[in-house]
Amino acid sequence: MTRLLPGTIDCDIHPSVPDLGALLPYMDDHWRDMVITRGVEELHSIAYPLNSPLTCRPDWRKPAGRPAADLATVRREALDGFGTSIAIANCLYGIQLFFSEDMAAAFARALNAWMAAEWLDREPRLRAAIVVPSQSAELAVAEIERWAHDKRFVSVLLLVGGSRPLGKRENWPIYAAAERHGLAVSIHAGSNYHNPPTPVGWSSTHTEDYVNQAQSFQSALTSLICEGVFNKFPDLKVVLLESGFTWLPAHLWRLTKFWRGLRMEIPWVDRAPADIVRSNVRLSLQPVDGPPDAASLNRLFEHLQSDELLLFSTDYPHWQFDGTEAMPDAISPALARRIMVDNPRATYARLGALQEEVA
């Protein structure tokens, strides 16, 4: 088993909102009243159905309620459980589902305030992503500006599935704000479910939805590259979370191939897409969606053509592996160090200061 190194940074854990009542103290009077008056009870999307094996590992499952819903549990199971020095909380809640921009903004504001007060203030090993109302770039930027001063927020969280492809210019103010404040943009599996979560329409099962996340990530990444987001915001770091990564070499080969013949459509893309990914895009380790044997996995790492792309993650409490075996055995010690320590620090500008703290 590959042991986690001191200083390991877990780039993707998922503390849960236990229930909507937990956010009420962080809402203003109007929205608190609206939650009660309208009878809003829950805000979980269908992305992680509570009873799906994927949603929570058996040993982390509770007799009732959401997993990972209180700090003591997350400390015990994730932080102490893996011995990570830092973990980044990417809170998955239904903020992105609202059709009302104002409601989304109010709930995002409450969620981030809850994250700061109930988690970050009480646990120095935690960092978090700013959850934004992606329904409106203007309101999303306002939410980024509200928290940008707080260096414990290290990224901006978006879902891979939205109303339109993420590279579209309507989203550029979000990328500009993230770049300006040294925040990475984390794109997590999931959707606002305003469109089918697969490129070919509504599927029947959770299985299809989850497997097809890889196609959503391919589409989102292609959009970001082709629309010129990384030309406009060259210092922007985009992290794909819970995306898998074995699809990346083949997809980049395909994208680069067609770029050679069609690049006059997107003349600002003046480097091969694979080069752009190597400078601006990172991916989380879990779920490892490749074969476990060393030869196959290392061949895949060769195809990635970079040891800087992968960031350690447990995806806690989602069930991607057992025990503490988050790192596949096949990974060489040198690459393991990069994945666990060096790459996360290089990716999240706000973690850079850690180096000095540790030293």
Give the separation between CA 92 and CA 95, rounded to whole angstroms: 8
- E strand map for 132-287: 153-161, 184-191, 238-241, 281-284
CB nearer to other proteins: pick between 30 and 254: 254
To other proteins, the closest distance from the beta carbon of 314 in angstroms equals 36
To other proteins, the closest distance from the beta carbon of 242 in angstroms equals 28
Single-letter code of the amino acid located at 223: S
Contacts (CB under 8 A) with other proteins, residues 212-271: 227-229, 231-232, 259-264, 267-268, 270
Sign of CA dihedral 96, 185, 89, 283: positive
Contacts (CB under 8 A) with other proteins, residues 32-71: none
To other proteins, the closest distance from the beta carbon of 262 in angstroms equals 6
Residues 6+ apart with CB under 8 A from 221: 240, 251, 277, 281
CB nearer to other proteins: pick between 122 and 254: 254
Contacts (CB under 8 A) with other proteins, residues 141-200: 169
Give the burial class of 144: count Cβ atoms within 10 A of its Cβ; 0-12 exposed, 13-18 middle, 19 or more buried.
buried
CB nearer to other proteins: pick between 80 and 235: 235
To the nearest 10°, report the CA torsion of 68, 186, 340, 321: 50
CB nearer to other proteins: pick between 208 and 270: 270
CB nearer to other proteins: pick between 267 and 333: 267
Nearest to 157 by CA among 190, 193, 124: 190
To other proteins, the closest distance from the beta carbon of 196 in angstroms equals 28
Residues 6+ apart with CB under 8 A from 267: none
Give the separation between CA 100 and CA 280, rounded to whole angstroms: 32
The residue count for binding other proteins (CB under 8 A) is 16
To other proteins, the closest distance from the beta carbon of 273 in angstroms equals 11
**Interface map 271-290 toward other proteins (x if CB under 8 A):** -x------------------
To other proteins, the closest distance from the beta carbon of 185 in angstroms equals 17
Give the separation between CA 189 and CA 137, rounded to whole angstroms: 20
Residues binding other proteins (CB under 8 A): 169, 227-229, 231-232, 259-264, 267-268, 270, 272
